[in-house]
Amino acid sequence: MFVDQVQVFVKAGDGGNGIVAFRREKYEPMGGPAGGDGGRGGDVIFEVDEGLNTLMDFRYQKHFKATRGENGMNKSMHGKNADPLVVPVPPGTTVKNADTGKVIADLIEHKQRAVIAKAGRGGRGNIHFSNARNRAPEIAENGEPGEELYVQLELKVLADVGLVGFPSVGKSTLLSVVSAAKPKIADYHFTTLNPNLGMVRTEDDRSFVIADLPGLIEGAHEGVGLGHQFLRHIERTRLIVHVVDMSAAEGRDPYEDYQTINQELEQYDERLMERTQLIVANKMDMPGAEEQLEQFKEHFDTSQKIFPISALTKSGLSELLYAIADTLEQIPKNTFETEQEDLQDERVIYRHEKDDESFRITRDPDGAYVLSGPQIERLFKMTDFNRDESVRRFARQMRHLGIDEALRKRGAEDGDTVRLLDFEFEFVE
């Protein structure tokens, strides 16, 4: 089964907890803090494996969770960092945030890697909280939570050439006679349900990969037929070979077919119309095909090259394959690196912006005030509430963020309940 789109859940490893510990040595009777830091959790990394050609494995495993870092130890020893979780994906995989639709990574080359979910850092041990006023702190941080999110994986077939056209125009037959691929061929529409790839080698020893994409029909860009599933695969091809049924055996006009397919490509992605396109007039062995070809050529100027072939009798194929190979030599192979470069440029630009969403205050039906927001929730998860000093430190952090004042402005009074995640505490003036 060919699977080219799937949603999975990824969770990076949490950082290990820092600990509270003290040392007492022979010549240092007063000792001091000696709690070590926790280790960093494991990242979730997707890596391209050219041996894969489908996302089938993700149908059976949809949760990927990296291990957490080791907790800190006494004698100021650092906990062990966790190894990253490396998940193999086929070349041509685009990774998007399922909630926002933002592209996280575009993985094309073998062994190319991308960090999909970043691990949490380890919590600090009490050795970091010692100062002149508090020489024996009983404060340690819990490990930072690792990122977790749902991601959408989309596989776009990597091929040099993409065959497009209406159903039953002979795309599968053409692929079967110019390569060793064995696509399904039958006398009805939509016999091709999955993209088929074939390696083609010309007589002068040039080679390229050609993809037979499922037939398109009018409305494909809106999901009619199989268009919503397979139009994305055309994005990766350097050259589009537009196959037209010149026999008009099904009562359609060949030029109208040609225009309809191009309109669908343009409405799906305007950039596809900038892609080099070769026109192939197939089924020239059928009665009336020559007359239809002459009428078809009237719509183009003399500079437009049209290749008449018969995939069934194999006539005209050599000229077509040479033309494809010649055209590919003029098209750079890094055609699709622009999107990846833009993505990388976006990641390396940093601008200081005031974080207005450090916390939010809402009300529950029972009147309780509810705190939420990534920053306050992160601080909460990294606080060890089993130690009084850690609790007091968390209270100071809340005041520093302006939460106390914001609660007063919302009408909070002494004794009101405030909720944060699964924790409840009492507002005290």
Binding residues for Mg(2+): 172, 192
**Alpha-carbon span 13 to 87, nearest angstrom:** 14
Cα distance between the two ends of the chain: 64
DSSP state, residue 288: T
* Nearest residue to 11 (alpha-carbon basis) of 55, 41, 50, 52: 41
Please report the beta strands in 206-325, taking only residues with DSSP state E, as ranges in sequence order.
207-212, 239-245, 276-282, 306-308
Residue 309 near residue 286, CB atoms below 8 Å: no
- Number of alpha helices (DSSP H) and beta strands (DSSP E) in the chain: 9, 20
Are 306 and 293 within 8 A, CB to CB? yes
Q: Name 93's bridge partners.
A: 107, 155
Residue type, 317: L
Known binding site: residues? 165-172, 190-194, 212-215, 282-285, 310-312
- Which of these, 22, 129, 41, lies nearest to 384 by C-alpha position? 129
Task: In whole angstroms, give the CA distance from residue 126 to residue 114.
Answer: 34
Strands 239-245 and 276-282 turn out to be: parallel
- Report the half-sphere exposure of 61 (CA within 13 A, side-chain side): 7
Smallest CA-to-CA distance from 343 within 112, 90, 11, 5 is with: 112
Q: What are phi and psi of 57, to 5 degrees?
A: -60, -30
Q: For residues 278 and 37, what is the distance between their CA atoms, to the nearest angstrom?
A: 62
Closest to 278 measured CA to CA, from 326, 231, 313: 326
Residue ranges of the annotated binding site for GTP are: 165-172, 190-194, 212-215, 282-285, 310-312
User: Which secondary-structure segment (H or E) carries 161?
Assistant: strand 161-164
DSSP string, 171-207: HHHHHHHHSS------SSTT---S-EEEEEE-TTS-E
